[in-house]
Structure 1
Amino acid sequence: MEYFYETMYILRPDLNEEAVDQAIEKYQTILRENGADVLETQHRGKRRLAYEIQKNREGIYIQINYQSDGSQVALVERAMRLSEEVIRFLTIKQEVPEVEKEAVEA
């Protein structure tokens, strides 16, 4: 069964635009190669953090929305955990509204 997921991750603020694009592509590729359908990726830009994380006061926020059976979440989170450029990440499973469920089932 397919679910909708949203992963928000924060990259180090000292990365240049090329490194940010490479990181985004890397996580999209991990998801796609393992069967997830990437719906949308939003580059939210550099923002001030609410508190210091790994001696960083700001970070580059990226949000990726995708549809998968759930097995890809562990793979992409493991890659983020091992990565030097990601300072924080969070994945949530989104609730699909009843109207969309009926449309998908039809």
Structure 2
Amino acid sequence: MAKNFIYETMYILRPDLGDESVDQAIEKYQGILKDNGAEILETQHRGKRRLAYEIDRHREGIYIQMNYRVTGAAIAAMERAMRLNEDVIRYLTVKQTVEAEEAQA
């Protein structure tokens, strides 16, 4: 049986997207995770922010952060969809460290 770990994915969308397009992107990536058995813990829409450096001629981006619990294999499907979508200019997924008290529970 595969273990579920807590992951955090931060992705940056193009700054010229409308609110409706941003909401559709969030729902799309949450849906991919849920279809693979994920439990979405939290999703934060952090808004439009200035990038530290220019990416694909963009100086700003719309930041979205998702925290979820899932097996590692399910992340590949979401990251593949992000890689193929031109609206996503960067993404990063990290595995969260679990506190000792939570590990015992």
Count of residue correspondences = 103
SS in 2 for 1:40: strand
CA-atom RMSD in angstroms: 0.5
Alpha-carbon offset, residue 78 of structure 1: 0.3
Structure 2 residue aligned with 1:53: 55
Deviations 1:53-93 (A, max 9, x none): 01000000000000011111111000000001100000000
- Cα distance between partner residues in 1 of 2:39 and 2:29: 12
Which TM-score applies when normalising by structure 1? 0.95
Instruction: List structure 1 runs of 4+ shifted beyond 3 angstroms.
Output: none
Same amino acid, percent of matched pairs: 67
1:97 corresponds to 2:99: yes
SS in 2 for 1:14: coil
Alpha-carbon offset, residue 30 of structure 1: 0.2
Which TM-score applies when normalising by structure 2? 0.96
Alignment of 1:54-73 (within 5 A): 54-73=56-75
Structure 2 residue aligned with 1:25: 27
SS in 2 for 1:77: helix
- Cα distance between partner residues in 2 of 1:89 and 1:9: 4
Where in structure 1 are there 5+ consecutive unaligned residues? none
- Cα distance between partner residues in 2 of 1:22 and 1:84: 14
- Cα distance between partner residues in 1 of 2:92 and 2:86: 16
- Cα distance between partner residues in 1 of 2:81 and 2:14: 15
Structure 2 residue aligned with 1:39: 41
- Cα distance between partner residues in 1 of 2:71 and 2:87: 27
Where in structure 2 are there 5+ consecutive unaligned residues? none
Question: Please, which of 15, 22, 28 is the counterpart of residue 13 of structure 1?
Answer: 15
